[in-house]
Structure 1
Amino acid sequence: MRTDTHFPTATEGLTNTRTRIVGNRTGFWADTVVALARLGTALGGAFRTAGARVASVVTPLGWSILVLVPILLVVGYSLAWLEFVIAGWAGVVLLIVAGVYLVGRTTVDIDLRLVHPRVTVGESAEGIVVVRNPGRARTLGVTVEVPVGSGLVDLAVPGLARGAESEQRFSIPATRRGTVRVGPVRTVRADPIGLVRREYVWTEPVELYIHPRTIGIPSLSTGLVRDLEGSPTKELTNSDVSFHALREYQRGDERRYIHWKSTAKTGTPMVRQFEQTRRSHLIIALSLAAVDYASDEEFELAVSVAGSLGARAIRDVRDLSIVVGERTPEFAKRKVFAVRALSTLSRSRLLDELAVVEKAETALATVDIARVAGAQAAGVSLAFLVCGSGPTPTELRAASTRFPVGVEVIAVVCDPGALPELRRVAGLSVLTIGYLGDLTRSLAKATAG
């Protein structure tokens, strides 16, 4: 199908750039105007790109020199002030030298790795930057910058021969529990005065996990959970593994549980009765409420206690739940009654999540956490409530009542510097510890009781 483009109305309703400039005019002069407009657009784009690149490499000091140099030269030549002229040309020389430093490209390969991606608070942590020269020519020295948290590490890498590599180690502060973002590694080309600066990013950032301190404690099964498959309770059932007593046969009882010897002696059908057993499911509830702690030291001790208990339970291959209270949004109308479960797949995963927990003013307190955890966790046989010195004995007792009858509840009160103490009330054992090492002895006392 043939399309004719010479209709007189072909430009009607057209709103592209050409029609905005020359309308529906044609001919040499219209084409010239359009060509000039195209050239201006291309030059404008090139200038914007160049300006963006210049702005990204020129430092505030460099911009100051760029502004001062023409002023000094104009004033110096206008007023015949030799000092201004000399200062102006000195600035020109500095700008030319700074531009020379930007010429070329760093031909190296750079890798970043951590010696240990997970460390315990207080331990030494190190990172390694490996710089290789894959080219044929020798490289000049280069400055490598590594952001570490909110700080910055500068590493001076010497010149490298063909195929050579340099390994630069740097320390990472691990004085506080949490995560530290390390990297990305970048190289810097800059003049000695600091007029220009060009950065090249070489690696992706990595995360260093700083775990809370933990200690080894005896198995939680010893004394607290007394058998391999479950802990006998006071509840009676018609079928289980823990024998309790004999009773008379009732309609509906299974014949396989009839005790024939007793039946023969008494002349009345007798059946076995059992104690219902409960799978050894442990729950550890860590309070994040600021009201439950008098200081940051109490909270850090509580996190370490939760980590120690959880790591031991994971090693014992027990059914385990570790929960922390959710926060109520700042403008919520009602308190949010919910808990968040931490990962218990492995010790490392658990400590990774404990490394980033923080206390908050709006987090659920101990009593509320026990209320939610007691309602959600089915088949719990042992519950640990970990908190600071904030909750009163009455509040701890109220928290213990939120769990079903038959659940052993142990409250671990973290009060740095306090003497270890064990108090018992109905259905609750309260362990007060002043140091992490007190946890082992306090649990031994609770077990012996």
Structure 2
Amino acid sequence: MAAPVPAAADGESRGGGVRDALGGLTTRGRSFLAAGVAATVCAYVLGQGDLLRVGLLLMVLPLVCVLVLYRTRYRVTAGRGLSPRRVPAGGEARVHLRMENVSRLPTGLLMLQDHVPYVLGPRPRFVLDRVEAGGRREVSYRVRSDLRGRYPLGPLQLRLNDPFGMCELTRSFSAYDTLTVIPRTESLPPVRLAGEGAGYGDGLQHSLALAGEDDVIPREYRYGDDLRRVHWRSTARLGELMVRREEQPQRARCTVLLDTRAVAYQGAGPDSAFEWAVSGAASVLVHMLERGFAVRLLTDTGSVLPGEGADGFAGATQDSADAAGLLMDTLAVVDHSDGAGLSRAYDVLRSGGEGLLVAFIGDLDEEQAAMAARMRRGSGGAVAFVLDSGSWSNGRPAGGAALDSVCRLREAGWTAVAVPPRASLAEVWRHAGSAPLEPGAPGGGATAFAGGWS
């Protein structure tokens, strides 16, 4: 539950003053006021004293209600709790609202209203009849979105009404929360991809990892160090106990390339090719983190996200769950880019493209297909999922352009798969893992899967 926030409805914080209070007259209050004015004028013209008293009563009643409501000194605090704060697209989150009357007087009729973006559902409203002094009320509602993004919740509004319904004042709290809707992810089967083993076995690179920071020479003994690591030569030379450095395998690396070019995709919405690519990238990132890889997310703009760890690799120096959270937050707001090519991503991979490369690529022309094929050179293994956005729009199998791109990537040693509309990522992933493991051989290390399923 969020920390209590003083309400602007507090009697000591009156906003714009009496003018705002008069602006809060309801239709009933304005009708009474207009009827009172009309009756007063008629009474003056006709010389009817009784009608004059009725007119004055009709005018005074809404004004008295405005004055009483304006001078009511309610002190109200409110809080909001969001559980969970990060949900996948199509998932639900529950918002808990708490309102507490901290004044010495009971409140009248109150209405709570929370501001919610329209994509999360209708605006929630709750009517609270009476809250005793020191009393508390808790209500909740659910929100759901099929679209990725970061959505603000709040601020919470409190409406105060008088017993006759003549006046209604609205005051807003200042606090708000943010709901993050991340891409859907699929659980992927543990398959072995071409080049995935780079970083294991005899050819594995090593890095220094000691109890403290990495050193290039033996360091002094620290409490808790294994005595079997004592470096006797340095100990004798320096006159104090020194320990050896030790080596451990470096975490294997995986780069996930997400093509976000607007020209590479047609259509929009949860079932579009672009959303499938985003969901696929999220699934692969989570899968690789679970398998112990250090991962990074690269887009066609050359942006390495989220930028944590060495060379942008997440999971290398942080917990896998934290790394996954950062990556999902990034993918929650990723959108189309204005770029027309993959050259920036190619430059990043050329400067540091070791490890496995998994790419989700949209429509490619001949020049960009050649550029994507050259990315394979700097990677220990490369897998490409090529989406023909035109086929996704009309529900037909992948067209000739997508198959030509697959063939071009295959000739360069990629494991290439043409993704049909509404494909299951787990099935496509399994199909990529069943491809031959001889990258660079004619027709080897790649496959074109143009079939489809529901």
Q: How does 1:82-93 map to 2 (within 5 A)?
A: 90-93=58-61
> Residue 121 and residue 129 in structure 1: after superposition, are their counterparts in 2 closer, same or farther (change >3 A)?
same
C-alpha separation in 2, matches of 1:174 and 1:323: 26
SS in structure 2 at match of 1:404: helix
Equivalent residue for 1:317, pick from 292, 301, 305: 292
1:384 paired to 2:358: yes
1:214 paired to 2:214: no
Letter in 2 for 1:76: C
1:231–1:280 contact (8 Å) kept in structure 2: no
2:33–2:62 contact (8 Å) kept in structure 1: no
- Show the counterpart of 1:432: 418
2:32–2:58 contact (8 Å) kept in structure 1: no
Structure 2: gaps (5+ residues) = 1-12, 207-248, 308-313, 315-321, 437-454
TM-score under structure 1 length normalisation? 0.64
SS in structure 2 at match of 1:383: strand
Letter in 1 for 2:185: T
- Show the counterpart of 2:262: 290
1:408 paired to 2:367: no
Number of matched pairs: 345
1:76 paired to 2:42: yes
- Show the counterpart of 2:252: 280
C-alpha separation in 1, matches of 2:107 and 2:33: 34
2:109–2:162 contact (8 Å) kept in structure 1: no
SS in structure 2 at match of 1:306: helix
- Show the counterpart of 1:446: 432
Over residues 36-69 of structure 1, what are the superposed CA-to-partner deviations in whole Å (9 max), with x where a residue is unaligned? xxxxxxxxxxxxx999312333337679779968
SS in structure 1 at match of 2:124: strand
2:76–2:102 contact (8 Å) kept in structure 1: yes
> Residue 312 and residue 372 in structure 1: after superposition, are their counterparts in 2 closer, same or farther (change >3 A)?
same
SS in structure 2 at match of 1:179: strand
Equivalent residue for 2:336, pick from 359, 383, 387: 359
Structure 1: gaps (5+ residues) = 1-48, 234-239, 242-276, 327-337
1:305–1:436 contact (8 Å) kept in structure 2: no
- Show the counterpart of 2:85: 117
2:183–2:279 contact (8 Å) kept in structure 1: yes
Over residues 165-186 of structure 1, what are the superposed CA-to-partner deviations in whole Å (9 max), with x where a residue is unaligned? 3220112132321122112223
- Show the counterpart of 2:214: none
Equivalent residue for 1:156, pick from 116, 127, 149: 127
1:230–1:279 contact (8 Å) kept in structure 2: no
SS in structure 1 at match of 2:84: coil
- Show the counterpart of 1:339: 303
C-alpha separation in 1, matches of 2:55 and 2:40: 11
Letter in 2 for 1:154: R
> Residue 87 and residue 350 in structure 1: after superposition, are their counterparts in 2 closer, same or farther (change >3 A)?
farther
Equivalent residue for 1:180, pick from 151, 156, 160: 151
Q: Which moved more, 1:192-201 or 1:115-124?
A: 192-201
Letter in 2 for 1:351: M
TM-score under structure 2 length normalisation? 0.64
Over residues 371-413 of structure 1, what are the superposed CA-to-partner deviations in whole Å (9 max), with x where a residue is unaligned? 233234x14232222233x224663342221453554332222
C-alpha separation in 2, matches of 1:75 and 1:291: 70
Equivalent residue for 2:62, pick from 75, 94, 97: 94
Shift, 1:138, TM fit:
4.6
C-alpha separation in 2, matches of 1:50 and 1:278: 62
> Residue 133 and residue 404 in structure 1: after superposition, are their counterparts in 2 closer, same or farther (change >3 A)?
same
C-alpha separation in 2, matches of 1:392 and 1:110: 56
C-alpha separation in 2, matches of 1:299 and 1:365: 15
Shift, 1:224, TM fit:
3.6
Q: Which has the higher contact order (CA 8 A, sep 6+)?
A: 2
2:95–2:141 contact (8 Å) kept in structure 1: yes
Over residues 65-98 of structure 1, what are the superposed CA-to-partner deviations in whole Å (9 max), with x where a residue is unaligned? 7996897477535643979966675244223233
Over residues 8-45 of structure 1, what are the superposed CA-to-partner deviations in whole Å (9 max), with x where a residue is unaligned? xxxxxxxxxxxxxxxxxxxxxxxxxxxxxxxxxxxxxx
- Show the counterpart of 2:343: 368
Shift, 1:295, TM fit:
1.1
Q: Which moved more, 1:116-125 or 1:317-326?
A: 317-326
Identity %: 19
SS in structure 1 at match of 2:68: helix
Query: Which has the larger strand fraction?
Result: 1
- Show the counterpart of 2:371: 398
> Residue 232 and residue 439 in structure 1: after superposition, are their counterparts in 2 closer, same or farther (change >3 A)?
farther
